[in-house]
Amino acid sequence: MTSFERNSSLKPVLVLVAGVILGIGATLVVGMLVTLNTHPPEQQLSDVNTDAQRPRQTEDEVSLENNLSNNSTETSNDSLASVEALANLGPSIDRIANLYALVAQLDTEEFEDLLNRSVDSQWNIPTKIRLELQNVLLERLSMTNPKKGIEFVLNQNRSMHALRPILISIFANWSSVELEVAIATANTLPVATRKIAFQGILQAYADQPISHHRELSNKLNLTTHFVESFLNSTDFESLAEPEVAWNAVIDVAERDYFFVVQLSELAKQWYAKSGFKAIDQIRSTMNDMGMKSTLVANVLRFAAESEPARAFDYSVTQLTQLDVGWGWEATESVIQEWATQDPRAALESISGLNANALKQNLQHLVVQSWTKQDADYVLNHLSDFPLHTQSAAVGIAITKLASESPDKAVSQVLRFDDANLQLEAAQVLVSIWSRNELERAQKWVLEEPAISSIREHLIVPLTYAMVATDPSGAFELALNHTSAAGRVGLEAVILEQIARDDVALALSLLPSVRDGLTKAIAFGSVGSAHVENGDFQKAIDLGLRLDESEHSTYFERITLAWIEADPERLYEVLPSLPNEVARSKAAYALCLLSVGSNGLTKKQIEILDQYLSEKDRENLGTLAPSDDP
């Protein structure tokens, strides 16, 4: 029997080890090699000649085997020649099989010589042969001298991505035999490389509990990395002992709100296996009150999906008495979940609470949820609900109905006996309805006899809705709206919206505005639009069309807009502004701008003082320019 034949019996063992070491990519190759090399040596040789399904060996392949078998006791130079001969061998699987056989025959000196030559750039062999040889050599080295194997790997001019599988395998094998030595070596590596080593160490102890994995991460100073990796990659539903996992990560994870979702899922699985005692332990293991509040609320809401009454009782008896803030949050989460299932039962459960503020808040939540589910029922039985919840319920119900069926919403609005509730409902209706069916909503507001007593109050939401599609019509409607004495007319508000989109139209409507404060505000809105467009002189000239008594309101309005658009320009033109009022308002605005900013120098701010009126200086208070150092 030739030397090659004798060493062929080692190939299944070597190949099996390679499967562990090379990682996922190499395992495919290794599996194929095992299939090809699991027969006795004699049978292998027989199969080569008799199996009709296998391709016949070429003359090069037969010559290569003969060459390898004759070199078992020859020098390293002969080994190099054998490796070089592999270049003529076709499939990589055959090359790797022969490399295993070749490397297995080498003594220590020959092995080290071949290892060193494998990185010698002067050795002219194909790159693929060089890499395959290095991988086979490293497999042997990882079992005989892993520390040297790691040094060799890290000295290679190859990407960490390419070296990752072999590093993982070396540390996996090494740590299974010499854990502390492997850890000590890993701790000398850069963090990125140490993380790869840690992955290999974890592979060796994959059957150990997560608590042991956490201990390993602590020894490698990779605790945070381990916690992040675990929480981001674990299928929590598959955990047999979520409590153990929780205790292994919570001290690190609770400090980072990025993990709220993952911790919530882990906590839910713990509750699913252990019930409410899990919530007790969750509370006792956490120190961060904000994270604790959020997680307990999430878990209790999850519990309320199947046990709403018990979850509510737990939150009320165990949490609200301890801390108003996070105890309330958890109780609110539970009641909101319960209200989606059975709002009547949820509302009844609240009636026995003694804490009035909490009670009212929970009642609001239940009624709001109930209204979203069945708006008609709530409106038809409004008097059955707590008085303090009725206004919000009406708003939610009418919003829902107005979006789905305006006619049904109108019917409900007209049924209200309470004038205040009817007005609230009608305003909501018009706001929603006019967005979708402006003409119908407008006709109802202006012509419906049953709402004559509240018609004036419905003009406001109607005009707001009309501005986008009929700005002139909205303005005319606003002009006819009655304003209380001393209040700004609605047309000034509408004109401000018009000016943002169409300054020319706004200018054409200005003469129709009511005199007094309304006129000054309306002119100021258009002037501010000029400023925002960079038309500063137009803004100044527009103000001069007003009576002097209206200048203060106007110029204050446009200069406040001016400091947002171009404060440097305002400072430049300040001395040339047309009157003392305009200059004072400009100085006033610039003084406000200087607060908390470096827009003006101290000298510039001092110059502003000469333009301020006594009233504006007084209004500035401590912000007024001062000569004090």
* pLDDT, tens digit (0-9, with 9 covering 90-100), for 362-421: 999 999 999 999 999 999 999 999 999 999 999 999 999 999 999 999 999 999 999 999
pLDDT above 70 (res 29): no
Mean pLDDT of 594-622: 86
pLDDT bucket at 155, cuts 50 / 70 / 90: confident
Single-letter amino acid, residue 521: I
pLDDT tens digits along 561-570: 999 999 999 9
pLDDT bucket at 579, cuts 50 / 70 / 90: very high
DSSP for 116-177 reads HHTT-TTS---HHHHHHHHHHHHHHHHHH-HHHHHHHHHTSSS-HHHHHHHHHHHHHHHHHH
Instruction: Tell me the residue length of the chain.
Output: 629
pLDDT bucket at 227, cuts 50 / 70 / 90: very high
pLDDT bucket at 5, cuts 50 / 70 / 90: very low
pLDDT > 90 in the chain, percent: 65
Mean pLDDT of 596-600: 70
Residue 587 CA to residue 469 CA, distance in Å, equals 39
CA distances, 370 to each of 303, 347, 412 (Å) = 20, 10, 17
Which of these, 180, 240, 174, lies nearest to 207 by C-alpha position? 240
SS (H, E, C) 75-125: CHHHHHHHHHHHHHCCCHHHHHHHHHHHHHCCCHHHHHHHHHHCCCCCCCC
* Residue 618: CB atoms within 10 Å: 10
Which of these, 283, 279, 318, lies nearest to 300 by C-alpha position? 279
pLDDT tens digits along 497-519: 999 999 999 999 999 999 999 99
Give every CB contact of residue 349 below 8 A, 6+ residues apart in sequence: 309, 312, 335, 338
pLDDT at 601: 82
The pTM assigned to this predicted structure is 0.68
pLDDT tens digits along 415-467: 999 999 999 999 999 999 999 999 999 999 999 999 999 999 999 999 999 99
Residue 397 CA to residue 413 CA, distance in Å, equals 11
